Structure 1
Amino acid sequence: MNRPVLHDYFRSSASYRVRIALNLKGVEYDSHPVSLIDGAQRSDAYRALNPQGFVPMLEIDGHRLTQSLSIIVYLDQLFPEPRLIPADPADGAHVRAMAMSIACDVHPLNNLRVLKYLKGTLGHDQPTVDEWYRHWICEGLGPLEAMAAPRAGAFLFGDEPTLADVCLVPQLYNARRFDVPLDLYPTLVRADAAARALPAFTAAHPDHFAPRETQP
């Protein structure tokens, strides 16, 4: 298999998830930055590869895979260890539900294109846009805390990281960027800390992929 290529953006939550999953699976890859700020995702060249014009896209084994959860499921099937989705059907459904509560319910309302539309096209000021962001994160984190707490261990489900943790860490990274209070979510905060202590999560952090001009 040729070395995979990940088309991503350093602060993209969806890209961050895939970087974590690749690291957990021990898959070495090349990173191809796609600047969402500069609009590179809308270029003819990129849309020829990915008609949606989103990141991430993973080129692997002759395939061009899109949508972060679909990519991670592919990786979990191709590289079974460590397993990110439990084999037991009920446990797997529980982990997927937690992951999807972030990836499908919270994140789409707060991604860059939505925030730019709110501020640019609809004319909202930055404090209003920031409040939108915080509102929808809290709307999602409260139910997720209740879902996770009964079956959590060191991580959101048990004592090994799963797809749910892969989605949680990027979301809490963004929550902290927007000064969202996290005191009401002790299970999530504990799982996030346990995950971020692992090398696979640390190596995927946006700071390691930031363009030089954005670095401190």
Structure 2
Amino acid sequence: MAEEKKLKLYSYWRSSCAFRVRIALNLKSLDYEYNPVNLLKGEQFTPEFLALNPIGYVPALMDGDILIADSLAIILYLEDKYPQHPLLPTDLHKKAINIQAANIVCSSIQPLQNIAVIKYIDEKVSSDEKIAWVQRHIGKGFTALEKLLQGYAGKYATGDQLSLADVFLAPQIHGAITRFSVDMTQFPLLARLGEAYNEVPAYQAALPERQPDYVQP
């Protein structure tokens, strides 16, 4: 029998999108090879990486001969192929809430604070306005998430089991606190979830500072 090929993750230590995928891989106990892509050096725009993801974003995942890019696509692929530790509930309503929460993070918060956006604001306006911009958009998204998850949250976002919503929330909360100094007292539910994630080994192993390409900011 041919040896099964190890998963290959193309990641950058500080990317919250790659952080999500690392958490999902860890929750599913999947072994993977870490391939760093230095976004600050522009390695995402090399011909080699653009062949993997033409838009030039991390993460990308190779599973044998199958290539997937975009964190949500990767995680949904992992969910279908590797059913251990399911991330989506069987209850259709809770499943929809999980997908909605994930989309608030990946469509309405993170794109407004990615490297390209905050670099542009920093260069064209000021560093102070950059932080204000990020805090404003994180705050808008977190306000929506607080309302969405009321009535569903248990120990974690939609109950007592870690789910898709948590995989997306955990990196966003981490970045809000450690990079952008967001006052989490405004968001008590999310603050509580952030504390709960700190006790999860799969989250701890996925932290930016524990990645092989980590550089002290």
Structure-2 residue corresponding to 1:157 = 158
Q: Distance between the aligned counterparts of 1:192 and 1:79, measured in 2?
A: 26
Structure-1 residue corresponding to 2:54 = 51
- Structure 1 ranges of 4+ moved more than 6 A: none
Distance 1:150 1:183, change over 3 A: same
Match of 1:4, as an amino acid? L
Q: Distance between the aligned counterparts of 1:88 and 1:206, measured in 2?
A: 33
- Is residue 165–residue 192 contact of structure 1 (8 Å, CA) maintained in 2? no
Structure-2 residue corresponding to 1:186 = 188
Q: Structure 1, residues 130-179: CA drift from partner, whole Å, max 9, x if none?
A: 11011000010011001112110000100011111111111011111211
Distance 1:210 1:3, change over 3 A: closer
Distance 1:210 1:110, change over 3 A: farther
2:85 to 58, 82, 101: 82
Unaligned runs of 5+ in 2: none
Q: Distance between the aligned counterparts of 1:153 and 1:58, measured in 2?
A: 31
1:210 Cα deviation from its structure 2 partner: 5.7
User: Is residue 138 of structure 2 the alignment partner of residue 131 of structure 1?
Assistant: no
SS of the residue aligned with 2:67? strand
- Is residue 155–residue 192 contact of structure 1 (8 Å, CA) maintained in 2? no
Q: Distance between the aligned counterparts of 1:175 and 1:164, measured in 2?
A: 16
Q: Distance between the aligned counterparts of 2:81 and 2:194, measured in 1?
A: 26
Name the % identity.
36
Q: Distance between the aligned counterparts of 1:62 and 1:106, measured in 2?
A: 32
Note the aligned Cα RMSD (angstroms): 1.3
Paired residue total: 213
Q: Distance between the aligned counterparts of 1:153 and 1:127, measured in 2?
A: 37
TM-score, length of structure 2 as denominator length: 0.95
Q: How is 1:25-174 mapped onto 2 (pairs within 5 angstroms)? A: 25-120=28-123, 123-174=124-175
TM-score, length of structure 1 as denominator length: 0.95
1:7 Cα deviation from its structure 2 partner: 0.3
Q: How is 1:5-44 mapped onto 2 (pairs within 5 angstroms)? A: 5-44=8-47
Q: Distance between the aligned counterparts of 1:154 and 1:119, measured in 2?
A: 38
Unaligned runs of 5+ in 1: none
